[in-house]
Structure formats: C-alpha cells, structure tokens
C-alpha cells in the first residue's frame, strides 16, 4: 500500500516536472518566434525607408531634369524671338533704303537716332524710321506711324550713320539693340543682341 502511494507520488512529481519542462520549452519557442517576427518586421521597415529614399531621389532628379529642359526651351524661344525681330528690322530698312531716291537725314558724315528717306514716288514720301519708348516705327507719306516690332521685344541704341561720299547715291550704316522684355525677372527670359548692317541706294 505504502509502495503504491510512493509510486503515485513519484509519478505526479514526474508529471509536474514534465509539465514545467514543456511549458518552459513552449515559452522559449514562442519567444524565438516573436524575435523572428520582430526581426522580420524590422527588416521590412528598413526596406520601406530605403525604397522611399530611392523614390524621393528619383523624383528630385526628374524634377531638376524637367526644369532644366523647360528653361532651355524658354531660352531658345527668347533668343529666336530677338533674332527674328532684329533680322526683320534690318531687312526692312535695307530694302527701303535701296528703293529710295535720297537719304534726307542724317546728312552725309553725321549720325542720327532716326532715318528719313526721300522715297521713290510721292505716295510714301517721306519715309521715316524712328524709335519711341522701345518700339521701332515707320511713317510713310505723313501717315500714322506703324510699329515694326512686337510687344515681346524692345529696341534701343538705334543709330544711323550716313557715310555717303560726294558723288555717290547714298550709303548708311545701321546699328541697334534688341532686348527681350523680361518683366518676370527670370534668367531664361534675359537676352539682348546688337545688330549691325549697311544699306545703299541703288
């Protein structure tokens, strides 16, 4: 009887020890799993931060690249506008001088800020080129002056030099500056060019 009691008691102790061991083992496994989960979660957060950094870098680089392209396009348009206006002015003055009868002003050997021509025939006589408030005008036959430049540019330093020699039909040198009107103050809209040319009566 006593032996059975001791045996039963020992079995209970063994079972208790076994239960404690299993419980401890289970807790250890759970802690390992929690650690693995935490480690996995931490690695994922690092990846997310890394990806966000890469995306931000790409977006920033793309923005700078696009801004550079836009600025370059605007600058090219600005230069083209100034070039076209200057060439058109020079061509019109030169053609008008070639078809004129006489250069009235400035007189030979002098300079002037406007050009007066005795045009062929009486309909467009006189023909006057002058600059007022940055706009180049032409007046023909006493009629209302007509602007030759658009609202994007401004003309300055308009100088006509009469270099005609005695006995010649007439020769002038032309120079002027065309500036792009940069009301915004942006660098890409800032551009000016000086144009030079000459024309003689045929």
The per-residue pLDDT for range 11-38, each reduced to its tens digit, is 555 555 455 544 544 545 545 554 454 4
Domain total in the chain: 1
Please state the length of the chain: 202
46-52 mean pLDDT? 78
| Confidence (pLDDT) at 45 | 77
pLDDT band at 5 (very low <50, low <70, confident <90, very high): very low
Report how far apart, in Å, the C-alpha atoms of 171 and of each of 10, 96, 98, 130 are.
132, 12, 9, 18
| Confidence (pLDDT) at 186 | 87
Q: Is the dihedral of CA 42, 45, 49, 55 positive or negative?
A: positive
Range of the domain at 139: 1-202
Give the model confidence (pLDDT) of 68-87 as tens digits: 787 888 899 999 999 999 99
Say what the pTM is: 0.68
| Confidence (pLDDT) at 35 | 47
């Amino acid at each position: 009887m006593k032996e059975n009691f001791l045996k039963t008691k020992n079995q209970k102790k063994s079972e208790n020890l076994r239960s404690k061991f299993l419980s401890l083992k289970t807790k250890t496994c759970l802690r390992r799993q929690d650690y693995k989960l935490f480690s996995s979660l931490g690695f994922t957060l690092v990846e997310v931060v890394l990806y966000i950094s890469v995306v931000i870098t790409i977006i920033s680089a793309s923005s700078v690249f696009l801004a550079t392209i836009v600025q370059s396009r605007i600058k090219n348009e600005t230069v083209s506008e100034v070039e076209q206006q200057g060439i058109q002015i020079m061509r019109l003055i030169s053609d008008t001088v070639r078809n004129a009868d006489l250069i009235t002003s400035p007189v030979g050997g002098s300079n002037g800020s406007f050009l007066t021509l005795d045009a062929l025939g009486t309909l467009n006589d006189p023909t006057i080129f002058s600059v007022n408030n940055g706009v180049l005008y032409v007046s023909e036959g006493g009629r209302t002056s007509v602007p030759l430049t658009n609202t994007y540019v401004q003309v300055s330093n308009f100088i006509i030099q009469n270099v005609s020699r005695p006995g010649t039909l007439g020769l002038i040198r032309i120079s002027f500056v065309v500036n792009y009107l940069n009301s915004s103050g942006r660098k890409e809209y800032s551009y000016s060019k000086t144009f030079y040319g000459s024309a003689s009566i045929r």
